[in-house]
Amino acid sequence: MARIGLVAHDDKKDELVAWAKTNRDKLALHELWGTGTTGARINEGTGLSVTRLLSGPLGGDAQLGAMIAEGRLDALVFFQDPLTAMPHDVDIKSLNRLATLYNILFAPNHKTADAVLAAL
């Protein structure tokens, strides 16, 4: 069982929920963690159990980053909106950097998420 972090920018939440629905049976085999709103939306849309952290801008991104640094997360699915400026851009960059630094599976979009899930 892998520990998977799930995050999506506002304009990508529907896409992440749709991806989670399509992959519900595979995701159900893993321990899922999500930032506040994203975790709630996935839970409501799929029935999957997602341990919810704080909302991303309120510290949820930082909580996931800490989990990565502590070796408590195996993969991160983070559907990002590259065309919208985010007020908490520093947290987002930190999360991306930590996923890279600690060499965990990292998916910033739908196609990469498919590959990450297949790898687990």
pLDDT for 7-62, tens place per residue?
A: 998 899 999 999 999 999 999 999 999 999 999 999 999 999 999 999 988 899 99
Length of the chain: 120
Q: How far apart, in whole angstroms, are the C-alpha atoms of residue 99 and residue 10?
A: 21
Catalytic-residue membership of 89: no
pLDDT, residue 86, reads 66
Out of 11, 14, 25, 61, the active site residue is 61
Strands 31-34 and 3-8: parallel
Structural domains of the chain sorted by starting position, each given as residue range(s) with its CATH number in brackets: 3-119 (3.40.50.1380)
> Using alpha carbons only, what angle is made at residue 67 by residues 25 and 79, rounded to the nearest 5 degrees?
55
Per-residue model confidence as pLDDT tens digits over 75-106:
999 998 877 766 667 778 889 999 999 999 99
pLDDT, residue 89, reads 73
Helix 13-22 to helix 36-46 angle (10° resolution) is: 40
